[in-house]
Amino acid sequence: MLSIKPLKISEITASIKNLLENSFGTVLLEGEISNFRPSSTGHLYFTLKDESSAISAVMFKGKSRYLPFVPKEGLLVHAVGNISVYDARGTYQIIIDSMEAAGSGDIFRLIEERKQKLAEEGLFDQERKRPLPAYPRTIAVITSPTGAAVRDIIQIISRRNPSISIIILPAQVQGAEAPEAIVRQIETANYFKMADILIIGRGGGSMEDLLPFSDEEVVRAVAHSDIPVVSAVGHETDWALSDFAADVRAPTPSAAAELVSPILEDIIAAVQYTADEMVFEMNRRIERIRLMMSQFSAESMEMRFRRIEQPVLLRFDDAKEDLLRSFMDRIRDTKQHINLLAEKLEGGNPQSILKRGYSMVRDEETGKVIRNSDQTTPGQKLVIIPERGKIHARVE
């Protein structure tokens, strides 16, 4: 047996850790992201590799939240951090403090500045965005005619809804001439009103590859399009400024194809269901009306009319009797009043008074009524008028 005292694993690991961490300060590494595993807590775990070697890397949530881009598989990056040893596994790794896409740091800054500028102009406002037509007849696609994206879009739309027409507007989607080609095709589609929905996009690629879809003129053309635009640039983690200006952003071209093409069988089923519901409701209402109409035969109508008429007639008869009774009472009261007046008149009739034995005395010359003896003088001629005849007299 060896006389050397054995070391514990933790002891040798600690020695290696001290050696590495003290030998290397902050380092700048260039490598390609591989085995990217973001955690639910916000930490990023992945591997940085080159042509022949690899190193484990971790970027904690406190640092990763400030990344100016979205890390993804195959992206070449520059990472700044410190070499460390993970004791539990005995592996060394780099703990990254900051990271940017290799060769694209200037591009990110350019895009961010452009994004802020266009946002201030209101091109990304939610109020500008329009809903997509529920049942489009024609869909125009602006993309490379030879890329996988156009094949996926055609295949998915044709499978989901063969009744939708597809127009391919070929355009370069990469390189310096791509923005002008994309803008020209957007303007062409709008000028000729070629479609109900416009899809612009391409498959995945590096930030440089996707740069045409963040071109200022492309973004303005998307924002001012009369046709609703779906932006489908790259993979799910990719993004471009056209995503913010479009009415709808799709994570991939395939997702865009599914988004704009309702399944024909579902539409037919929905239409058939609605038609069945309408027929059922119409039949139900017709049957209800038929049942109601069955109650309105000539005999039943007459009986219904009689039932309505009889109370009215009774009320009319009662009103007539009340009116006649009121008239008779009024006539009786009037007669009684007239009789009373007649009696009063009769009581004041001079002829009636004369019938009771009274006589009226007048001056024969003047015809005045003599009411008092003081109105006479001896020798005055008088006329006494009893009930019948006249009596001539002289005052002595």
Percent above pLDDT 90 for the chain: 43
Nearest-angstrom CA–CA distance, 240 and 222: 12
How confident is the model over 147-176, as a mean pLDDT? Answer: 94
Contact 210, 238 (CB under 8 A): yes
* 224/170 Cα distance (integer angstroms): 20
182 burial type by CB count under 10 A (0-12 exposed, 13-18 middle, 19+ buried): buried
Confidence of residue 219 (pLDDT cuts 50, 70, 90): very high
What CATH superfamily is the domain 9-102?
Answer: Nucleic acid-binding proteins (2.40.50.140)
Q: What is the pLDDT of residue 347?
A: 67
Q: Tell me which amino acid residue 313 is.
A: L
Mean per-residue pLDDT, 312-327: 88
> Phi-psi category of 95—alpha, beta or left, where left has phi over 0 and alpha has psi -120 to 50?
beta
Per-residue pLDDT tens digits for 166-216: 999 999 999 889 999 999 999 999 999 999 999 999 988 777 788 899 999
Per-residue tokens: 346? 């009769």
Residue 348 in this model has a pLDDT that exceeds 70 = no
Top-tier CATH class for 108-262: alpha beta
Does residue 236 sit in helix, strand or coil?
Answer: coil
Structural domain boundaries in the chain = 9-102, 108-262, 351-394
Count of CA atoms in the C-beta half-sphere (13 A) of 353: 10
**Phi, psi for 134 (deg, rounded to 5):** -70, -35
Across 5-14, 124-133, 228-237, which has the greatest mean pLDDT? 124-133
57 in Cβ contact with 46 (< 8 Å): yes
Are 207 and 108 within 8 A, CB to CB?
Answer: yes
Contact 73, 47 (CB under 8 A): no
Instruction: Match 């007299």 to its residue by tokens.
Output: 393
- 3-class secondary-structure state, position 71: coil
pLDDT > 80? residue 21? no
pLDDT of residue 1: 47
Query: pTM score, two decimals?
Result: 0.53
Contact 212, 179 (CB under 8 A): yes
